[in-house]
Amino acid sequence: MKSWPFSSFIRTLDPKLTNNPKLESSLHEDNRLYVYHLPPPVIYHYASLGTSKAIVEGQQLKLSSPKTFNDPFDMNPSQVSFKATAKEVKAYQERIKTSLYNSINREAKRRLIREMANPANANEYQKLNTEQMYNEVGVCCFSKLNDQPLMWSHYAEKHYGICLGFSIQPLYQTQNLFFSVSEVQYVSEIRPLNYYKDIEELMPYLINTKSKVWEYEQEVRAVIDNRQGFDLFPFERDCLKEIYFGCRVSKEERTAFIKLVNEHKYNISTYRKMIIDFKTFNVKAVKL
């Protein structure tokens, strides 16, 4: 797997963004298909013991292609409709002239408008564009919870793994990329999007909308809009805040992992181990 060449790309959460009612309100619009909510201050990444060691040693997180997801409906571009009348395509063209593609130069914009001169060409062009976006996006999955037993079973090596708590900047943009961290919303039915009518909401909706059957995960996603062929992305050391050991991790393994963390100079605020709660069929965190 190739590593992103820049250091400290994934940044620590800015405290000014936490519990900020004004920012939360500005991102929340009830008429939108997807409503953005700021993630919690700490989000949790479940992993095997081996993967957790690699994360700590490399100071990197893997942002995967949607093609590797275990849910075939997840971010599936077939959920996008390209049906449009000539009038709707023209209205779309007018919108992109002024807003959607301000980042491209004038000649590229003129070429794009020519290619989309009629609905048939526009549809084929946008289908290709949507597939390209789907291929370029990178996603790293987190949860709002550190004590979900199914998450420990499915993603943390059947409780032999580790849950890492990260504090990550929710929004980060440069001229070349856009990085965001946001909560997944769960729905009971598929609501197809129309490329021409819902273009501004298309990618946020596809990236962060899943079936209610996955609601137990309480998922939060870190997303980069263009992986540029890379898989591993560096994070600032201060991003890693908490470490929880699965209930089947041995004392020797815990000791060795803590030593590894200290050798790499992380400043961890919380170490906990999970134990079985026989009263609830659950697991709970206790001090080491």
> What is the tens place of the pLDDT at every residue in 198-254?
877 877 888 889 999 999 999 999 999 888 889 999 999 999 999 999 999 999 999
Domain assignment present for residue 97? The answer is yes
**Confidence label for 269 from pLDDT (cuts 50, 70 and 90):** very high
Residue 160 lies in a domain: yes
Q: Which residue, 134, 163, 180, sits at the end of a domain?
A: 134
Q: What pLDDT does residue 119 have?
A: 55
pLDDT class for 129, splitting at 50, 70, 90? Answer: low
In this structure, are 157 and 267 located in the same domain? yes
Distance between CA atoms of residues 1 and 110, nearest Å = 38
Least reliable range by pLDDT among 87-91, 127-131, 133-137, 220-224: 127-131
The 10s digit of each residue's pLDDT in 42-64 is 999 999 999 999 999 999 999 99
Q: Which of 134, 157, 177 is the last residue of a domain?
A: 134
pLDDT attached to residue 5: 82
Query: Is 232 domain-assigned?
Result: yes
Confirm whether 252 is domain-assigned: yes
Instruction: Scan for tokens 């992305």, then name that residue.
Output: 233
159/28: higher pLDDT:
159
Look at the chain and report how many structural domains it folds into: 2
Neighbouring-strand partners of residue 64: 139
More confident residue, 6 or 261: 261
The confidence score (pLDDT) of residue 159 equals 98
User: H or E element: which one contains 155?
Assistant: helix 149-155
Q: What is the pLDDT of residues 139-162, one digit of tens each?
A: 999 999 999 999 999 999 999 999
Positive or negative, the CA dihedral 155, 160, 166, 172 is negative
The answer to the question of residue 6 being in a domain is no
Higher pLDDT, 21 or 196: 196
Residue 8 is assigned to a structural domain of this protein:
no
- Give the pLDDT confidence score for residue 199 in this predicted structure: 74
Which pLDDT tens digit goes with each residue over 60-71?
A: 999 998 888 889
Asked if 195 and 245 sit in the same domain, the reply is yes
What are the DSSP calls for 234-246, one per residue?
A: EB-GGGEEEEEE-
Same structural domain, 61 and 189: yes
Q: How far is CA 5 from CA 134, 141, 148, 234, in A?
A: 22, 22, 34, 9
pLDDT over 50 (residue 257): yes
Write out pLDDT tens, residues 171-206: 888 777 789 999 999 999 888 888 888 877 877 888
Check pLDDT > 90 for residue 21.
Answer: no
Give pLDDT, residue 32.
60
Range of the domain at 153: 15-69+137-287
Q: pTM for the full model?
A: 0.86
Residues 201 and 96 in one domain: no
247 plus 176 within the same structural domain: yes
Task: Tell me: pLDDT of 88 over 90.
Answer: no
Percent of the chain with pLDDT over 90: 49
